[in-house]
Structure 1
Amino acid sequence: MEKRVVFYEEICKSCGLCVQVCPTNVIFLADSLNGKGYRPATVLHQENCISCAKCAQVCPDSVIAVYRPVKVLQTV
Structure 2
Amino acid sequence: MPKVEINNEKCKGCSLCINACPKQCLAFSKEFNKAGYHWATFEKQDACIGCGFCYLVCPDVCIEVYK
Same fold (TM over 0.5): yes
Q: TM-score, normalised by structure 1?
A: 0.83
- CA RMSD of the aligned region, Å? 1.2
2:37 maps to which residue?
38
Higher strand share: 2
Cα offset, 1:50, TM superposition: 0.6
Cα offset, 1:30, TM superposition: 0.6
2:7 maps to which residue?
8
Q: Within 1, Cα distance between the matches of 2:51 and 2:5?
A: 13
- Greater CA radius of gyration, 1 or 2? 1
Task: State how many pairs are aligned.
Answer: 67
Task: Establish whether residue 58 from structure 1 lines up as the match of residue 61 from structure 2.
Answer: no
Higher helix share: 1
**Which string of whole-angstrom CA distances, capped at 9 and with x for unpartnered residues, describes residues 26-53 of structure 1?**
1011111011100000011212111100
Higher relative contact order (CA 8 A, sep 6+): 2
Q: Within 2, Cα distance between the matches of 1:3 and 1:33?
A: 26
Gaps of 5+ in 2: none
